Amino acid sequence: MLAISTNFEKEIALQVLVRENNVEQAMRVLKKKLQREGVFREMKLRRAFEKPSERKVREKAEAVRRAKKAARKQAQREGLLPKPRKKPLTRR
């Protein structure tokens, strides 16, 4: 069990099971979970001090980006925009 505190109010409890002593696979699973939770992004943001004014600008831009994405997805569901094309599978 791994508890990671990303900020003072919120604590994330992640649990990764190691099966058959396969630590590499467990590390990949842990990394994917941390990525989904946004821990890496949070660590990158906290490397240096961010002025409150810069933080407000960044958060506002993120909110606008999320709103545009939600509107685009809604328009695709309603048939107003074409669905995105799926990339063809290429064999390696």
* Range list of H helices, the chain: 23-37, 39-45, 52-78
Task: Answer yes or no: is pLDDT of 1 > 70.
Answer: no
pLDDT value for 8: 47
Q: Domain coordinates of the chain in residue numbers?
A: 1-48, 50-82
d(CA 92, CA 90): 6
Q: pTM for the full model?
A: 0.58
Cα end-to-end span (Å), the chain: 37
Task: Provide the pLDDT for residue 69.
Answer: 96
pLDDT for 16-52, tens place per residue? 889 999 999 999 999 999 999 989 999 999 999 999 9
pLDDT recorded at residue 3: 54
